[in-house]
Amino acid sequence: MYRQVFIPNDTSLLLQIPAYFIGKKVEVIAFPVEENQIVEEQSNGDKYSWENALKFFRKNSVDFSKIKKWKREDLYE
């Protein structure tokens, strides 16, 4: 992933991409970013790292070991 945040000085933009993007599908998205959002992401490190994703899923995962096991016959009682 390649990400760069900047303040444009004109309505046109010349985009230079890394060489390893050549021959691959590339998506370009432009949207305004609030200043406090940039500071928050920089202070938290890489927001989209696999470590942060793993922390999120461990925090929000469901523990299926505590769910009572059942049999199909139990449905008809």
Q: How does residue 23 score in pLDDT terms, banded at 50, 70 and 90?
A: very high
Residue 9 has pLDDT above 70, yes or no: yes
Tens of pLDDT, residue by residue over 25-73, are 988 888 887 766 555 555 555 566 777 888 888 888 888 888 878 788 8
Integer Cα distance of 27 and 1 in angstroms: 10
Integer Cα distance of 70 and 11 in angstroms: 63
Integer Cα distance of 52 and 36 in angstroms: 20
